[in-house]
Amino acid sequence: MLDRLETEARNPASDRLDELTSVEIVELMNREDATLAGVVATQKTAIAQAIDAIAERMARGGRLIYCGAGTSGRLGVLDASECPPTFQSPPSQVIGLIAGGETAMFRAVEGAEDSPERGAADIRNLIPKPNDIVCGIASSGRTPYVIGAVRYARAAGSFTVAIVCTTNSELSKAVDLPVELIVGPEVLTGSTRLKAGTATKMVLNMLTTGAMVRLGKTYGNLMVDLKASNQKLIERAKRIVQTVTALPAPEANALLDRCQGEVKTAIVAHLSGVGPDTARERLAGAQGRIRSALGAITVSVSNTHRPVRSDLVIGIDGGGTSTRTLLASAATGEILGRAEAGPSNIQSVGVETALRALDDSIDHAFAAANLPRASVGAIGLGLAGVDRQEGLDIIHGWAERRSVAERVRVANDATLLLAAGTPDGWGLAVIAGTGSIAFVQTPDGKVGRCGGWGYTLGDEGSAYVIAHRALRAACRAHDRVEPPTVLLDRFVDRMNVSSPPELIPAVYRGPWDRAAIAGLAPLVLDAADAGDAVARRIVEDEVEQFARTAYGAVVNHDLPKAGVPVALAGGLLLNSDLYRELFLNRLEKLGFVPGIVTPVHEPAVGAVVLARRSLNATK
């Protein structure tokens, strides 16, 4: 029934709306709107899945088709109409349908939204195909026009998405992927152009922007595929070319003119040192992605000249979450300055952001040591995302242009751990954190690994797998088909839900994604240590499997079964005495007796070691 919909409920905060002053109305609406970012965040996984689906299908020639009625329809048409000037996409790539047609954009067309047949007919006229994505927008989740449209599209093989502001709606059940934005009652009862419309617009922005980014329509956060159709956009195009190439305005403008106003072409032509035609060919071969067209060329093209301090070295541990940098004495390894900056994984955050984080962390490390920045004798970097030659070229090119160091050593996570946690840089390195993996390096430099298949295929003994198994066991205990466990009450309390059944929306539609679930592992370990049989069994099972992974890394790469130094890393091995003891004991039972065992709390120390070795090797 209509009167039972969340979108039709009365908001107690505004029950005296007509008595408020203008300032009070503004304050009330502002408070209500302030909740929307959190609401959208609860649907981040579904929104990301929708972005991936859109980008993948658009790359194969598919279209994104919005359909809605009233405010929802207008929002879809608006988002579609903004794509061509913003991303230079063809008008047929993102399409907006509104019940009642073009007239309904400006004036309500009575009864248009009540016909599922009309929705199906409008979609049928577009001849939907398997590579198309049809996104139905309806705050109530019950608009017949929209339901008719998505059902026809789904039957034709198109991927279907719904954006609704209610739970368990008819529209959500009719699509492949629902996005449910539970914004609560409106300030003006039933007026879904308010919070529901704002939250919907936020999601539409994410869908098209995210998909276009994935399709190479941006360079960093610059709108390089814009269509300069008016003076504002022409000036923006000039500024972008200036920003990326570092050319003075007259030269940047001349470059853009030579490239017929094509921003991407101008960037590739200048940074690669080729003509416009060659730049276009490279872009075509790279599916329009500037980074791929440039190869190892990066944004920074100017060389930086610095004073040389050969008595100093730098060690950096950089990943997808943060970048940790140590400035140290080359002679003694004494740490002189520590710093931390943002993520520096070039694959996950992009080249510009990653290199900026590296530079910022070095600046801060020198500042912490109260020293002016200089080019050091050597730098060791353990960086995620640079395991291919292209990534190595980017880092070495950056280090040369920025005069970072006289010698540069780039390594992987395992090399850092072994450098920090073993006497001579060889042995076994095991990581048990959100994921899990085991690395080995032999005395003669051969490297290998075991595990590291990710949370779907592997990650045995990891925080995520332990917590996920424990959650399943707690749910089974609630159903009384598995033994009782204290984990049930502890999960309900920690996850801030009112009862066990509320774990379902918390995990599937709430904030408890993989990383958050992994954060529950300490709770399981505490329960195991306190004697809970269910928790203990899970922990022992997973430790057993991870010990087998580590043992496999040793025997598969012909390391001896006794006396091999071991470096431990990851939150479980470093922070849980129970986990660490079970793991080492299980290794011995399998037939492997470790030599010296070293917990590595600061892998960047290993990067300092690598830098010092690099420096000493040339003496």
For residue 29, the model assigns a pLDDT of 86
Helix, strand and coil in the chain, % to nearest 5: 50, 15, 35
Domains 2-214 and 231-294 alike in fold: no
Q: Between β-strands 94-98 and 64-68, what pairing exists: parallel, antiparallel or unpaired? A: parallel
Predicted pLDDT at 348: 64
251 is catalytic: no
In the chain, pLDDT over 70 holds for what percent of residues? 94
From CA 394, how far away is CA 54, in angstroms rounded?
30
The DSSP-derived string for 81-130 is HHHHHHH---TTTEEEEETT-GGGGTS--TTGGG-HHHHHHHHHHT---T
| CATH number for domain 454-595, candidates 3.40.1350.10, 3.30.420.40, 3.40.50.1970, 3.90.550.10 | 3.30.420.40
CA-CA-CA-CA torsion for 206, 207, 209, 210, nearest 10 degrees?
Answer: 90
- Between CA 47 and CA 201 the distance in angstroms is 13
DSSP string spanning 406-455?
A: EEEEEE-HHHHHHHHHSSSS-EEEEEESSSEEEEEE-TTS-EEEEE--HH
Query: Torsions phi, psi of 304, nearest 5?
Result: -110, 125
List, edge to edge, every strand of the sheet that includes 335-341.
Answer: 335-341, 323-329, 308-318, 375-383, 405-411
What number is the average pLDDT over the span 529-556? 92
Contact 312, 294 (CB under 8 A): no
Q: Domain 231-294, what architecture?
A: Orthogonal Bundle (1.10)
> Tokens 């004991």 belong to which residue?
585
Q: How many CB atoms are closer than 10 A to CB 573?
A: 23
- Band the pLDDT of 226: cuts 50, 70, 90: low
Q: Residue type at 234?
A: I
- Helix, strand, or coil (residue 575): helix
pLDDT tens column, 411-438: 877 788 888 888 888 889 898 887 888 8
The confidence band for 148, taking pLDDT boundaries of 50, 70 and 90, is very high
Q: Where are the beta strands (DSSP E) in 467-515?
A: none
Give Cα separations from 50 to 29, 88, 421, 462 (angstroms).
Answer: 30, 21, 43, 28
Least-confidence region, from 123-137, 143-157, 446-460 = 446-460
Q: What is the reported pLDDT for 250? A: 85
Output the CA angle 519-520-522, nearest 5 degrees: 95
**Candidates 56, 82, 482, 602; catalytic one:** 82
Q: At what angle do helices 577-590 and 533-556 cross, to 10 degrees?
A: 50
Token readout for 195 is: 């919070």
CATH architecture of the domain with range 2-214:
3-Layer(aba) Sandwich (3.40)
For 41-67, the pLDDT digits (tens) are: 988 889 999 998 999 899 889 999 999
Tell me the average pLDDT across 133-153: 93
The CATH fold assigned to 312-422+606-616 is Nucleotidyltransferase; domain 5 (3.30.420)
User: Bridge-partner residues for 94, per DSSP?
Assistant: 64
pLDDT, average across residues 319-341: 88
Q: Dig out the tokens for 415 from the structure.
A: 């090399």
Identify the active-site residue in 8, 19, 32, 113.
Answer: 113
pLDDT single digits (tens) 159-200: 999 999 988 899 999 999 999 998 888 878 777 888 888 999
8 A C-beta contact, residue 144 and residue 119:
yes
Q: Distance between CA 394 and CA 373 in Å, rounded? A: 22
CA trace torsion 267, 268, 274, 276 (10° rounding): -70
Each domain of the chain, given as residue ranges in start order, spans 2-214, 231-294, 312-422+606-616, 454-595
Q: At what angle do helices 533-556 and 521-529 cross, to 10 degrees?
A: 110
Q: For the residues 293-308, what does the mean pLDDT come to? A: 57
Whether the per-residue pLDDT at 505 is higher than 90: the answer is: no
**Residue range 334-387, pLDDT digits in tens:** 999 999 888 887 766 677 778 888 988 999 999 999 999 899 999 999 887 676
Distance CA 533, CA 482 (A): 12
Residues 179, 466: Cα–Cα separation, whole Å = 29
Instruction: Please give the single-letter amino acid code of residue 352.
Output: E
For residue 224, the surrounding DSSP H or E stretch is none
The three-class DSSP label of residue 592 is coil
Question: What are the tokens at 136?
Answer: 């139905």
Q: Is the pLDDT at 229 greater than 80, yes or no?
A: no
Sequence-distant (≥ 6) Cβ neighbours of residue 50 within 8 angstroms: 133, 135, 161, 177, 179, 207
**How far is residue 173's CA from residue 605's CA, in Å, rounded to a whole number?**
53
Residue 416: its pLDDT value, please?
83
- Binned at pLDDT 50, 70 and 90, residue 103 comes out as confident
Q: Where does the pLDDT of residue 205 fall: very low under 50, low under 70, confident under 90, or very high at 90 and above?
A: very high
Instruction: Residue 300: count other Cβ atoms within 10 Å of its Cβ.
Output: 17
Under 8 Å between Cβ of 487 and 474: yes
pLDDT band at 619 (very low <50, low <70, confident <90, very high): low
Let me know the angle formed at the C-alpha of 181 by 177 and 183, rounded to the nearest 5 degrees.
Answer: 170
> What is the average pLDDT score of the chain?
86
Coil vs helix vs strand at 160:
strand
Of the ranges 27-36, 219-228, 280-289, which one carries the lowest mean pLDDT score?
219-228
* Angle of CA points 474, 179, 42, to nearest 5°: 55
Q: Are 180 and 41 in contact (CB under 8 A)?
A: no
- The mean pLDDT of 390-403, rounded to a whole number, is 81
For residue 377, give the H/E element and its range: strand 375-383
8 tagged catalytic: no
DSSP-derived secondary structure letter, 510: S
The SS3 call for residue 133 is strand
C-beta of residue 241 within 8 angstroms of C-beta of residue 301: no
